[in-house]
Structure 1
């Protein structure tokens, strides 16, 4: 389906009520179109090829059956079913309310999927934690069980006031054939802390594109970990701006991909103030004919002196047919900085395997031990016990699928 055909078939009057922000976003997307490999930021990920057999204008139908996809927890939960907030399943905290579409205009010609989300967003939430308040832990769960080829486009906004704190555990699961185009806007005031842990466990027939737009003020801290685990094609794109001095961000991620899965993690960390620090550790474990992508960019403005930026990408290939594309970038205009990046790609060390096998450890168990050790560094920032148990369970299931 071409860009024009797609837009012409979307009933914007029904979806938007002719909201001017959405109309502007639709015009922006129409002018740019779907991103293609000719776009530098999408050079390694062919989104259009994955969407050729989709009719993204068809709505989901039928009664969803999602009970088994929702984590069992006593923590407050915000549940989205087929892209829409489900109040009957949710047990949300006092900091959560339904999103107001008129609060933000997000059309952006440089990020067409953000414009598309703005144009057709079907629901979303706002999480507002007042200054000086500990918001505790909140589960944000999106589950999909739709028999139609639909595009789900939720928009979320998370704001933490000065010296406030919050932990968000985001779980995305699904069954069926659909596209999930999620945009999350995050604003952290002076001294605020957000811990954001995310598991992407979509249907193997689905496409997931998630964009996080993060702004940190003075002394704010953003700690994030993403595990890309499901979906036929997934792309997690994080744009983080350190706009106040002494702000810090940790962007860690891991990908466990097999078969013909394609996983893309793209980050842009913009240092716009002095004395800020950024850390990125992204690890991929690829089996079968899976393909992983990491594009990481650190930008340092001229006035962002004393910047400390670090970026590491490592890939473990379990098959000769697996592939990883790694593209680290540094753009530095300041002269008093400490910035570094690195990348390693390899297979399981045969000497380490021999050592474990010689001590009576079965081959599959030995491989699992080595892979788990490889992932431990990326998991280090996950200090929340519930979040860590979710990631560990997902890794265990991956072993059980016979990947090893």
Structure 2
């Protein structure tokens, strides 16, 4: 265990030294080696600072100055859960809760990482790059549990929910779940991931490793609604084979500091990636979306549309890079990010990037920043619509392009409810509070 009051990278390294013989997979050679390599990578990098180009716009000082403890959630704790619309895996403070989960009816393998770990050699850590992403290194050092899904070739797996809950605690817990998803050739899966928690401080640092085989398709809906004092630092790695598709939609609406970092590699011809999202940040919140799209095969297509709405004294970040390898001829890549500022104190930083080494490609990117259109607002007000409702209508219209890009009906429905909840939390019934 770490000393009371110890903070920053030293605290997490000390926690690892104290727990290494009790962590899942301890004394299993390849697991120990993976953890040690991650620990060395984290020790070499530490928590990222704004001097690192990839973290130029996001300051983790509130994270590094806070003291975190080990989660102490008991199986006797039974938090209230929202109604389940599909088979669900529940994690409380990063640990799988079979008593709250409903995976028994699934026709394919769905296991906790703790249970599946002995069989994951060569797979766990295959996509992650801890030497480049320090939060992935921290996760690789301290992961305890996670969800492992294996969808057999040709299987339509339907919808599966992944629900992550944080609990009230004076210890400010930090947890680092590791989730692995693999789709066989021609398989399909819709995964709806929801993260929610209490008002207090905690750190949720999940890592996903997703493999989409030839001709398979995964729809991945991510609804981040952590507590307002929480820190959510997420890293997703996805690899898509020939003719496969990975469709990711992320709603970022909670946490004091939230960063969604998504790395997708298109490794076979005619693979596709759709990466879309909405960031909603209120006073005192910081929301960061960072994407890296790697076109490593010919005839692949990618689409990215991200919308950010900021109110009060909030800050948003979008960084998106499309990397086209020389072999990736006939690449078709598109990226757009737009921000709507509802307050003069809100701030957005945008950094789209194209890195192209092929000569037969079609790639474009763009960025816009603006405020609510005064003429449109006047038009609605002149028709008797109250100001708060008129502003809400305009914001909803702004978000439409990103939402309509969500092909999966289940994800689109969950998204609509989450956006409505964010509006209500801004303090104006039926609308958005604008400074």
- TM-score, normalised with respect to structure 1: 0.96
SS of match in other structure, 1:45: coil
Matched, 1:374 2:380: no
Q: Which residue of 1 aligns with 2:51?
A: 38
- The offset of 1:262, in angstroms, is 0.2
- The offset of 1:229, in angstroms, is 0.4
Q: Which residue of 2 aligns with 1:21?
A: 34
Kindly report the root-mean-square deviation, in angstroms, between the aligned alpha carbons of the 2 structures. Answer: 1.5
Tell whether the 8 Å contact from 1:242 to 1:272 is kept in structure 2 after alignment: yes
Q: Which residue of 2 aligns with 1:383?
A: 407
* Distance (whole Å) between structure 1 residues aligned to residue 269 and residue 101 of structure 2: 38
- The offset of 1:126, in angstroms, is 1.0
* Correspondence for 1:194 among 218, 243, 247: 218
Q: Which residue of 2 aligns with 1:244?
A: 268
Tell whether the 8 Å contact from 1:159 to 1:188 is kept in structure 2 after alignment: yes
- The offset of 1:395, in angstroms, is 1.6
- The offset of 1:383, in angstroms, is 3.3
Tell whether the 8 Å contact from 2:8 to 2:66 is kept in structure 1 after alignment: no
Matched, 1:82 2:104: no
* Correspondence for 1:347 among 371, 376, 388: 371
Matched, 1:286 2:310: yes
- The offset of 1:2, in angstroms, is 3.7
* Distance (whole Å) between structure 2 residues aligned to residue 319 and residue 74 of structure 1: 37
* Distance (whole Å) between structure 2 residues aligned to residue 141 and residue 4 of structure 1: 30
Deviations 1:196-253 (A, max 9, x none): 1110000111000111100000000111100000000000000000000000100001
- The offset of 1:320, in angstroms, is 0.2
Q: Which residue of 2 aligns with 1:322?
A: 346
Cα distance change, pair 296–166 in 1 and its aligned pair in 2 (3 A) = same
- The offset of 1:165, in angstroms, is 0.5
Tell whether the 8 Å contact from 2:73 to 2:92 is kept in structure 1 after alignment: no
* Distance (whole Å) between structure 1 residues aligned to residue 129 and residue 35 of structure 2: 8
* Distance (whole Å) between structure 1 residues aligned to residue 334 and residue 408 of structure 2: 23
Matched, 1:95 2:109: yes
- The offset of 1:365, in angstroms, is 0.6
Matched, 1:54 2:66: yes
- The offset of 1:343, in angstroms, is 0.3
SS of match in other structure, 2:329: coil
Q: Which residue of 2 aligns with 1:126?
A: 148
* Distance (whole Å) between structure 1 residues aligned to residue 91 and residue 71 of structure 2: 16
Q: Which runs of 5+ in 1 are unaligned?
A: none
Cα distance change, pair 233–65 in 1 and its aligned pair in 2 (3 A) = farther
- The offset of 1:73, in angstroms, is 2.5
* Distance (whole Å) between structure 2 residues aligned to residue 64 and residue 260 of structure 1: 31
- The offset of 1:399, in angstroms, is 2.1
Q: Which residue of 2 aligns with 1:142?
A: 164
Deviations 1:61-108 (A, max 9, x none): 5664521xx331341111111111100111112331122345323462
Q: Which runs of 5+ in 2 are unaligned?
A: 1-6
Q: How many residues align?
A: 401
Deviations 1:120-173 (A, max 9, x none): 001012111111110111011111113021111100111111111010011110
Greater shift in the superposed pair: 57-66 or 70-79: 57-66
Cα distance change, pair 80–59 in 1 and its aligned pair in 2 (3 A) = closer
Tell whether the 8 Å contact from 2:324 to 2:356 is kept in structure 1 after alignment: yes
Cα distance change, pair 74–286 in 1 and its aligned pair in 2 (3 A) = closer
SS of match in other structure, 2:290: strand
Q: For 1:293-304, list aligned pairs within 5 A.
A: 293-304=317-328
